Amino acid sequence: MVEDEELKRAVSRILQRSERQDDLQKLLGTFVDVGILPQLENNNNQIFYGRRGTGKTHVLRVLGSKLSDNPANTVVYIDARTLGSTAQFSDPSVPLSVRCLTLFKDILTETHNALLEHIVEHPPHNANLALAAADELLSVIVEPSERVETEALEIKGATNAGTSGGAKVLLSTSSAGLEASTSSQSSERTELTGRFRVHHNDKVIFPGLHRQLTSVLDLAQTTLFILFDEWSSLPSDVQPYLAEFLRRGVLPVRRAVLKIASLEYRSHFSILGGKTVGFELGADISVTQDLDDYYVFDRNPDQITEAYADMIFRHLASELPEGYLLKTHGVSSGSELASRLFTERATCAELARASEGVARDLINIFTSAYFYAVRRGRTSIDRKAIVEAARQWFEQDKARFLDDELQGVLRRIVDDVIGNRRARSFLLPRELENHPIVRRLFDARVLHQMQRGYADKDNPGVRYNIYTLDYGTYVDLLGTTKQPDMSFLQEGSEPNLVVPFDDKRSIRRIILDRRVLEPNATGGA
């Protein structure tokens, strides 16, 4: 199959990022659900996590499409990377309150536009009232409040005073006389002048927002779903305050639902203290299972291999003429593709292992392996192509972005776990889960979490997280005497084992402590 020219073009056209896919039908057609979507198709406010490349955006956009199929729903998809302006992120002179408020208003404006569009496309019985309520909502969002402040008052007074007099002579045939008179007049005038300044306060009044948003949703007879993507791209100091605005302005609205996709270790949803600012996780908004948990290869190797083969099949089918794979190569499923495009099914499983639960890594390694096989004149993708592609991807996308500190810690872990123990997995006490070095290595996708909160029977009362090293850290050792153990041991085959999975498969008990994470450390066990 590899030499097929039409297939070559299809492989080269596969997009590595779902947000770059404008064709909604292709986006839906390439989606493979392993169980996360049913947990999000509800009216609960939720957060779900996943590292870069695990498919969070793909999940949100497919979820948005499914929700939009119901004409009673209004769906707003918001990419946090498109919010705000440079002032919100790079100008330290802009107060934090102004930065947060501007971002919040961006969200509300997108929401208003979506509601207005919904009312026009799906007019309710009282559409005019709904449109009027939408106008009122816009006023609440964009119109600033006014406050008049007196700067100065000046009082001026003046008094006018005067005296007048007169005399007259009376002459008659009978008498003569003199008559005189005087009179006085005065007036006062007071002038009051002042200078006033009108302050326009850019703020949102939450009771008014709640009232108007509720009114629009009730009159439009719709449920609002706000799908918020790339939360972790927001500045960390802004995140808890924006969460507070959403908690006050959106979460109390009965017909409004908020779904957030984010990176766990780059999310700051609250500031805890005397008074919590932001979301109270579990109370205000729940956290669903991490996407990473669904793609742990060592937990379900057969299921993950099948899911990834189906993912590749769907991506190729979306870029080929309809029915091309079936008509030309007799392939109608991911399982059949794994048998035809790869030298054997085990090669496809090796690709799934090398991807380490990250869909974007899968696409990149597959694409590189495919064209590596083309250059070598092969008719199918062999294990050597997978290994070489995985090595290149590790060097290009992961290792080059590790600073000296991370390189040093990773080197110590590799030397101990792989070099000395001939293993890939190890245990860390759970309290080290939030250690900055562990977070950064995990976020860089060179450490992968297999299980959280494992209770080792030989260390009662202590909880561990089980991690495995990235495929790229030992890819050069594959096929040599220093290759780590790639398969799980069976329970009881060795005394120093832990049993992390329900099927009783075991791994060696390798426990690293805090020392391995410290600068200038020499060992960790």
> Mean of the per-residue pLDDT values for the chain?
84
Q: What is the maximum alpha-carbon separation in the chain?
A: 158
Give per-residue pLDDT as tens, 408-460: 999 999 999 998 888 889 999 999 988 999 999 998 889 998 888 888 777 77
Other Cβ atoms less than 10 A from the Cβ of 195: the count is 10
Confidence of residue 90 (pLDDT cuts 50, 70, 90): low
Q: Supply 425's token pair.
A: 């997995």
Can you give the pLDDT at residue 194?
A: 60
CA distance 346 to 372: 18
Residue 268's nearest CA partner among 259, 279, 260, 258 is 279
- Among 107-121, 239-253, 457-471, 473-487, the range scoring the smallest mean pLDDT is 473-487
Stronger pLDDT, 167 or 346, i.e. the higher one: 346
Confidence of residue 243 (pLDDT cuts 50, 70, 90): very high
Can you give the pLDDT at residue 173?
A: 47
User: Hey, what CATH topology would domain 37-144+205-288 get?
Assistant: Rossmann fold (3.40.50)
For the chain, what percent of residues have pLDDT higher than 70? 83
Can you give the pLDDT at residue 189?
A: 65
Instruction: Give pTM, 2 decimals.
Output: 0.81
Question: Above 50 in pLDDT, residue 199?
Answer: no
Question: Above 70 in pLDDT, residue 301?
Answer: yes
- Among 19-23, 272-276, 478-482, the range scoring the smallest mean pLDDT is 19-23
- Among 142-156, 167-181, 492-506, the range scoring the smallest mean pLDDT is 167-181
Other Cβ atoms less than 10 A from the Cβ of 419: the count is 15
Question: Above 60 in pLDDT, residue 160?
Answer: no
> Three-class SS of residue 151?
strand
Show Cβ contacts of residue 500 under 8 Å, excluding neighbours closer than 6 positions: 450, 451, 454, 466, 506, 507
Can you give the pLDDT at residue 245?
A: 92
Can you give the pLDDT at residue 496?
A: 77
Give per-residue pLDDT as tens, 33-74: 888 899 999 999 999 998 888 888 999 999 999 999 999 999
- Among 38-52, 180-194, 217-231, 423-437, the range scoring the smallest mean pLDDT is 180-194
Question: Above 60 in pLDDT, residue 177?
Answer: no
Backbone angles phi, psi at 148, to 5 degrees: -95, 130
Can you give the pLDDT at residue 375?
A: 92
Residue ranges of alpha helices (H) inside 258-382 are: 301-319, 324-329, 334-341, 345-355, 359-375
For the chain, what percent of residues have pLDDT higher than 90? 43
Question: Above 80 in pLDDT, residue 88?
Answer: no
Q: Where are the domains of the chain?
A: 37-144+205-288, 145-201, 294-399, 403-517
Can you give the pLDDT at residue 169?
A: 46
Question: Above 60 in pLDDT, residue 346?
Answer: yes
Question: Above 50 in pLDDT, residue 342?
Answer: yes
Stronger pLDDT, 165 or 122, i.e. the higher one: 122
Which residues are paired to 468 by β-bridges? 425, 448
For the ranges 24-33, 301-310, 472-481, the maximum mean pLDDT occurs at 301-310
Stronger pLDDT, 292 or 520, i.e. the higher one: 292
Show Cβ contacts of residue 438 under 8 Å, excluding neighbours closer than 6 positions: 428, 432, 447, 517
Can you give the pLDDT at residue 400?
A: 85
Can you give the pLDDT at residue 120?
A: 93
Confidence of residue 462 (pLDDT cuts 50, 70, 90): confident
